[in-house]
Amino acid sequence: MRQNLIYFLLSLPILIMLAWFYFDKRKIKSRELKRIKLQAQPLPPEYVHILQTKFPLYSRLPSDLQRTLKGHMQVFLAEKDIIGRGDFEVTDTVRVLIAAQACLLILNRPGNYYPGFRSILVYPETYVANSTHRDGMLQVTATSTRAGESWQRGPVILAWDHVLQGARDSRDGHNVVMHEFAHKLDEENAAMDGLPLLPTPEQYKQWSEVLNAEFILQQQKLADGADDVIDSYGATSPAEFFAVVTETFFEKPHQLAHRHPKLYEQFKQCYLLDPKEWFTG
C-alpha cells in the first residue's frame, strides 16, 4: 500500500501536466472552432456601409481580401472590448473603423488576433498622459499629448479624431491604429524591440540585417535634417521604426518601395501582402 502511495505521489505531477495539456488543447480547439464560425458569418450590412463610406482603403482591396478582412473583423469585435473614456460614446462606426484598420495588419499573417490583452480605450480626441522616468537620483514626471499608445501586455489607447482621420486618408502615411497595433505584433515576440514574429525562421537573419541598416540610416537622416518618406519619429527606437514603417508600407507603398526597396521587400514578406497592388489607379 505504501509503495503504491509513493508511486502515486511521484506520478501526480505527470498526471497534472497531462490533464492540463488535455484541457488546454480542448480549449484551443474550441476557440479555433468558434473563430471559424465567426469568420463565416456575414458582416452586418450597416457595418459594410461604414467600410464603404468611411474607409476608402477597403474599396481598394481585391474582393478576396475584402472577405478575409470582414471575417477577421468578426473575430476581433467578438474578442476585444472597445471602451469609451471621458464620456466618449462607442458607436458602430467607432467599432468598425478600429477593427478594420487593426485587422488590415493581420489579413494574411498567421497569428492569434493580438493575444495578451483585451481592452481598447478610446478618447474623443488627443489626450494628455503622464510619464515617469529617473534622472540620476531624481524621479521626473512629465506630461505629453498623445494620439495613441500601446501598453505592453496591456490595453491599446486611441484618440478617436486620429482614428477617424487615419481611416479617411489612406495616402498620408499616418495611421494611429496601424501604428499601435504594429506594437502589439511586435510584443508577440516577448519584447517591443522591432522584431515581430515572422512567417518563417529563415527570414530572421535578413530581417535583422536590413532593419538594422535602415534604422541607422534613419537616425543619420534625422541628425542631418533630411526628408524621407518614413516619418522621422521612426528614428527614435527600433520599436517605433517598425511601427512607423508599417504605416508607410500600407499607405505609401510605392514611395517606400522606390526609396527603400530592401525594406519594402522585408515588410512584404512580414505581412504577406503587397499594398502597391492596391494603389495602381
Sheet architecture: strand order including 81-84: 81-84, 119-123, 156-159, 148-150
Residue 18 above 60 pLDDT? no
Is the pLDDT at 195 greater than 80, yes or no? yes
| Alpha helices (H) in 80-170, listed in sequence order | 92-104, 160-168
Show the cell assigned to 79.
474578442
Query: Is 70 exceeded by the pLDDT of residue 1?
Result: no
Type of residue found at 130: N
Query: Counting every residue, how long is the chain?
Result: 281
Mean pLDDT for the stretch of residues 203-228? 95
Question: Quick one: cell of 170?
Answer: 489612406
Q: Over 50: is that where the pLDDT of 251 sits?
A: yes
Task: Extract the C-alpha cell encoding 149.
Answer: 499608445
Residue with cell 498567421: 110
Prediction pTM value: 0.85
pLDDT (average), residues 43-50: 97
Distances (CA, A) of 66 to 69, 94, 100, 261: 5, 19, 10, 27
Tally of CB atoms within 10 A around 165: 15
Q: CA 223, CA 234: separation in Å to the nearest integer? A: 13
Q: How far apart are CA 253 and CA 263, in angstroms?
A: 11
| Residue 125 backbone zone (phi > 0: left; psi -120 to 50: alpha; other: beta) | beta
Interaxial angle between packed helices 45-54 and 160-168, expressed in degrees from 0 to 180 and rounded to the nearest 10: 80
Where residue 10 falls among pLDDT bands split at 50, 70, 90? low
Q: Which residue has the cell 459594410?
A: 48
Within 13 Å and on the Cβ side, how many CA atoms surround 83? 11
Residues 6+ apart with CB under 8 A from 229: 173, 248, 252, 255, 256, 259, 260
Could you write out the three-class secondary structure of 113-130?
A: CCCCCCEEEEECCCEEEE
Segment among 73-77, 138-142, 241-245 with least mean pLDDT: 138-142
Q: According to the model, what pLDDT value does residue 147 have?
A: 76
Inter-residue contact 167 to 54 (CB < 8 Å): yes
- Parallel, antiparallel, or unpaired for β 81-84 and 119-123? parallel
Q: Per-residue pLDDT for 219 more than 50?
A: yes
Q: Does position 215 have pLDDT exceeding 70, yes or no? A: yes
